[in-house]
Structure 1
């Protein structure tokens, strides 16, 4: 069985099996770190002023969708050859493959407020083997739904990951 066949088999076994991750309680500090990373100085000023005034502080619009993980990053020796952590590379662990982001659709329903506990629910939604000019690949579809404790959807992210065979030495992308 090829590496791509194995990815496809693993993914198909996970379709519609939702896994929840507790993202923790959102904090103004996290919102501001994100805003600083995207150079949103206006958000930083507004958020800190609202916090100082004791007013609710909403997260920046793409905060939830842009966060890859809620944990500290893995040690370097725990990264795959393509630089991804194993948890960010579902269905590909230990296989000679590489991944390319194939696109993302984000639905912003309601911004989380600092002090809100958020849950991320993620599932594989599709898995297809395809053939293109550069050869075979697998398209994996994922959905992530971010919700508040009462079940209200805050943000939804649907994304596609393209899985390709690993490059052999001496081959360029």
Structure 2
């Protein structure tokens, strides 16, 4: 079985299987770190003023959709050659592949408030083998739904990952 056929088989077996990840309780500090990363100084000032006044603080609009992981991050040695972690590489663990992001669509329902517990539920939603100018590849469709403790959807992200066979060592890229 070829590498891409293995990705197809694994993905087909995972379609519709949702995996939950407890993202923990989001904080003003988390929101401000994100705002600093996107250079939104005005958000930081507003959020800190609201926090000081005892008011509820909403996350920046794309905070949940932009967070790739809720952990501290892996050691560099645990990253795949394409820079992704195993969690960000469904259906490809241990296979000689490379991946690129094929785009995403984000649905914003409501922003989480600081102090809210958030859960991310993720599933493979589609898989398709394609052929292009550079050869065969697989398109993985993924959906991540972020929900509050009461189960209400906060944000949903539909994304496409392009999976290609790895370039053999020594081959021209």
TM band (smaller chain): over 0.9
Distance (whole Å) between structure 2 residues aligned to residue 171 and residue 162 of structure 1: 20
Whether 1:120 aligns to 2:111 is no
Structure 2 unaligned segments of length 5 or more: list them.
none
Aligned to 2:105: 105
Q: Which residue of 1 aligns with 2:172?
A: 171
Equivalent pairs, count: 172
Between the aligned partners of 1:57 and 1:48, the Cα distance in structure 2 is 8
> Following TM superposition, by how much is the alpha carbon of 1:167 offset from its aligned partner in structure 2, in angstroms?
1.5
| Aligned mates of 2:18, 2:51 — CA distance in 1 | 35
Secondary structure at the aligned position of 2:149 is classed as: coil
Moved beyond 6 Å, runs of 4+: none
Match of 2:29 in 1: 29
Offset of residue 94 of structure 1: 0.8
Q: How high is the TM-score relative to the length of structure 2?
A: 0.98
Local SS of the residue matching 1:114: coil
| Cα distance per residue 1:7-51 (max 9 Å; x no partner) | 110000000000110000010000000000000011001000000
Distance in 2 of aligned mates of 1:39 and 1:170: 40
Once the two structures are TM-superposed, the CA of residue 81 in structure 1 deviates from its matched residue by 1.2
Name whichever of 73-82 and 134-143 sits farther off. Answer: 73-82
Asked whether 1:130 is paired with 2:130, we answer yes
CA offset digits 1:115-146 (Å, max 9, x no partner): 00000000000011000111000000000000
Deviations 1:130-172 (A, max 9, x none): 0011100000000000000111100000000000011122322
* TM-score, normalised via structure 1 length: 0.98
CA distance in 2, matches of 1:148, 1:73: 23
Q: Provide the aligned C-alpha RMSD in A.
A: 0.7
CA distance in 2 between partners of 1:35 and 1:81 (Å) = 29
Q: Distance in 1 between matches of 2:26 and 2:32?
A: 11
Shift of 1:82: 1.1
Query: Structure 1: any 5+ residue segments left out of the alignment?
Result: none
* SS of corresponding position for 1:39: coil
**Which residue matches 2:53?**
53
1:67 maps to 67
